[in-house]
Structure 1
Amino acid sequence: MTPILPKITDEHRRRLLVTRHLLTPATRAATPEQVADALIALHATDPASVYLSVAARMARPSVADLERALYTDRSLLRMLCMRRTMFVVPRALAPVIDASTARTVAARERRNLLKVLTEQLGHDARWLADTEQAVLAALAERGEASAVQLADAVPRLQEQIVVSPGKPYEARPRLTSRVLSVMAAEGRIRRGRPLGTWASSQFRWTVAEPHPELPADQARAELATAYLSAFGPATTEDLTWWTGWTRTDTRKALALTDTVDVDLAHGPGHALPAQLDAPPAPEPAAALLPALDPTPMGWRHREWYLDPAHAPELFDRSGNIGPTVWWNGRAVGGWAQRPDGEIVTHLLTTTGIGRDARAAVEAEAARLAAFLGTTRIRPSFRTPLERRLTAPDAPTP
């Protein structure tokens, strides 16, 4: 006889999302570390997204507080890991993420780099190892250095390769970024303070501190548990997509956890025992989340918090989400910063959106504008709605 699985409704999941992801005034964090712990990892492809994801969830957001965590205390670390994506992760979780995902990504990056070096420049693994040692020596001498400074100190980094040969967009970049990226993926060097503002993507580099090495199977089980703690209930497909693991590795990891099989609105899923009882309804609350925020990018199946009809407006062609407006655990619209600094919002639905909701969205827009001040941002991955909101002829809302 087939066992009857506990049913988890979409409303149940949204209540968990709002409270665990700190999307109400009552749940807002006091420190950036608390935000990162709640979300496991902050998307860092756009440097500004890290700050905006934290600011949306802190009672008193501060650029200086996040810079302290990233560059002084180093309690938050940048890592190339899940889905070959740059994240900022809690220091305590870094060994787990390294063993479960980053090692595989780093090995692939090294193979790809060696292939380019061999085929285009005739260099071998020994040449690359010597180059990397020279980079480490230069950083040990200087403490930190930009990519340009390292290329001056290690002339081998100035050699050029051909990218997309024969294409209209053919390019001939230096080896600098490729070599540094591989070393960073392996945890040998790390990104330090940016050269410009906090929204800059030009970083200084420094030698990374080593961390304990864990067995891959153990690490995957720990990361699966952490994921479900932050994002569960979720499906096998959600976890596979979020981590970038194979389906086999995902199933093995789940088998080593204390999860419970559950029945979600669109099929079978997994939950931790503490998630089986629906929590009380949280206070109605709005949130303005940045492009590639961890919340909308946390699941492969999104229909329980995002109307599929709105996805073409909020995602680019590669599946990257832009800035979103949230109300009570649902993504209901988008926002953008115009060149003059104004934060403009647009709601894609009126369902469940009354006067209080609109006032709350306006209040969040004002809070975000105050945090940004004179800083101007623009997502690297632009969506149809974000483009329209920032167009020169866009109407004033």
Structure 2
Amino acid sequence: MRSLPDDERRARLARRHALHPDHRVDGPVAATRALTVLHATEQATPYLSVHARTTSTPLGDVDAALFQERSLVKHPAMRRTIFAFPRDLLPAALGSASARVAAEEGRRLVRDAEHHGIADDGAVWLEAAARAVLDRLAGSPPLTARQLREELPELAGTTTTGNLDKRWGRTAPVAPRVLTMLWAEGRITRGPNAGSWRVSRPTWTLMTDWLGAPLDPTSTEEGYAELVRRWLGSFGPGTEDDLVWWLGSTKTAVRAALADVGAVRVALDGGAHGWVLPGDDEEEGPVGPWAALLPTLDATTMGWRGRDFYLDPRDVPYLFDTNGNAGNTAWWDGRIAGAWAQDPDGTVRVVLLPGGEERVPPEGREALDREAARLSAWLDGEVVTNVYASRLMRGERLP
């Protein structure tokens, strides 16, 4: 079995994720393909992820890919997360990870509609609500969730989670959940964003209207195999646990997909084994030192469950919230060395982890500062608000 040590994994990451300056790519679609998909839960993340991997990509180019050319399409899939997909990968997601999300959300909606008194028969209610949305969007310009909720009585109702007497309890309208289910099914999708590139104010439209043609989902097995094939090309080597986590699926589905793509087993540092695509186990040489600033929930930071080869486990509480969501990160030579934040005037500054001065040599700090200046110039004074802001971004220290 070929041994693929951590230093080679970091060199692969630098090349394949287009993070080393010598390996940056041209444009939003190429940057997305380098990572298989871009995280898009936070509105600004796709824009910042593309910037980190290209020499100079204007904001308008990302908007064009998402909203004019529609070569990238936002869609809920793995782990119920929103991703920006290359258009040709959507059928695989619809047949596998997205179908799983849609089925789970449908079951919850039926149960919650009955539990919260929205309908005596949750299944009948959900079918009527879904049909009302599809009928209203047919032949219509894109509409916001609020417009749909105000126009369609079928979307009326709220559900409650947690204890309302406690801080985690909340009441929420059921309409967004119906839209999410239809979105995961591929029947509707997000149209133009009514806010700026930093603010999510989506509108909704029929998927066939948005893409100009219907999408034919793959079978479940074909879908998972294609997702695993793309992921291994971007992230391999990865372990079975990495893939189960990334896909939000089962070991059975992952093992079947690995067999379908003919994955090759390799030995990893620490005694574990991982998988690569056939023919992708040839030795790769090192790359020179590099620096990168990645946004909240960037696909590289969130790409593996096992992150020890690029992240010291002791640093996790500074960089991730309790649900495992990563904030902005600063990378030096294949490892996370800190985070980045913005001053009120929009200037980007690097915040090293405790002891970071010992881990990052002077040339590394200079390279990170150059990346901060590059990002500051690209943002041109605009300040990005993050939902998932880590302790380090906020300047907090652990007890």
TM-score when normalising by structure 1: 0.92
C-alpha distance 310-321 of structure 1, shift in aligned 2 (>3 A): same
CA distance in 1, matches of 2:7, 2:159: 52
Paired residue for 1:264? 268
CA distance in 2, matches of 1:187, 1:173: 24
User: Aligned to 1:282, what secondary structure does the other structure show?
Assistant: coil
Paired residue for 1:340? 345
| Stretch moving more, 73-82 or 138-147 | 138-147
Tell me how far 1:229 sits from its aligned partner. 0.6
Maintained 8 Å contact 2:92/2:227: yes
Maintained 8 Å contact 1:45/1:87: yes
CA distance in 2, matches of 1:32, 1:195: 21
1:292 counterpart (286, 293, 297)? 297
Tell me how far 1:351 sits from its aligned partner. 5.2
Q: Runs of 5+ in structure 2 lacking a partner? A: 209-213
Residue by residue over 1:367-397, the C-alpha shift from the partner in whole angstroms, topping out at 9 and shown as x without a partner, is 111222232212212211011179xxxxxxx
Residue by residue over 1:97-144, the C-alpha shift from the partner in whole angstroms, topping out at 9 and shown as x without a partner, is 221211011100011011111222225323322222222222224320
Maintained 8 Å contact 2:109/2:126: no
Instruction: Report sequence identity in percent.
Output: 39
Structure 1 segments of 4+ aligned residues over 4 angstroms from their partners: none
| Stretch moving more, 248-257 or 168-177 | 168-177
Paired residue for 1:239? 243
Paired residue for 1:171? 170
Tell me how far 1:68 sits from its aligned partner. 0.7
Amino acid of the structure 1 residue aligned with 2:232: L
CA distance in 2, matches of 1:351, 1:225: 39
CA distance in 2, matches of 1:352, 1:115: 52
The question of 1:252 aligning with 2:262 is answered no
TM-score when normalising by structure 2: 0.92
Tell me how far 1:181 sits from its aligned partner. 1.2
Maintained 8 Å contact 1:336/1:389: no
Amino acid of the structure 1 residue aligned with 2:129: T
The question of 1:376 aligning with 2:375 is answered no
Paired residue for 2:58? 62
Residue by residue over 1:143-162, the C-alpha shift from the partner in whole angstroms, topping out at 9 and shown as x without a partner, is 20111111222133233333
CA distance in 2, matches of 1:271, 1:32: 25
The question of 1:331 aligning with 2:327 is answered no
The question of 1:226 aligning with 2:222 is answered no
CA distance in 2, matches of 1:161, 1:253: 37
Amino acid of the structure 1 residue aligned with 2:96: S
The question of 1:135 aligning with 2:133 is answered yes
The question of 1:214 aligning with 2:218 is answered yes
Tell me how far 1:338 sits from its aligned partner. 2.6
CA distance in 1, matches of 2:377, 2:244: 38
Amino acid of the structure 2 residue aligned with 1:16: R
Tell me how far 1:82 sits from its aligned partner. 0.5
1:7 counterpart (3, 6, 12)? 3
CA distance in 2, matches of 1:357, 1:172: 48
CA distance in 2, matches of 1:173, 1:363: 44
2:157 counterpart (156, 159, 163)? 159
Tell me how far 1:339 sits from its aligned partner. 2.6
CA distance in 2, matches of 1:346, 1:197: 27
| Stretch moving more, 203-212 or 12-21 | 203-212
Residue by residue over 1:284-316, the C-alpha shift from the partner in whole angstroms, topping out at 9 and shown as x without a partner, is 221000111000111111111112222221111
Residue by residue over 1:240-279, the C-alpha shift from the partner in whole angstroms, topping out at 9 and shown as x without a partner, is 1111111121111111122211110021111224432332
Paired residue for 1:387? 394
Maintained 8 Å contact 2:232/2:276: yes
Paired residue for 1:33? 29
User: Aligned to 1:251, what secondary structure does the other structure show?
Assistant: helix
Maintained 8 Å contact 1:18/1:329: yes
1:111 counterpart (107, 110, 115)? 107
The question of 1:363 aligning with 2:370 is answered yes
Paired residue for 1:394? none
Q: Number of paired residues?
A: 386
CA distance in 2, matches of 1:128, 1:9: 51
User: Aligned to 1:172, what secondary structure does the other structure show?
Assistant: strand
Tell me how far 1:165 sits from its aligned partner. 4.7
C-alpha distance 273-55 of structure 1, shift in aligned 2 (>3 A): same
CA distance in 1, matches of 2:298, 2:97: 20
Paired residue for 1:122? 119
Amino acid of the structure 1 residue aligned with 2:230: A
Maintained 8 Å contact 2:40/2:46: yes
Residue by residue over 1:156-189, the C-alpha shift from the partner in whole angstroms, topping out at 9 and shown as x without a partner, is 3233333335442443332221211111111111
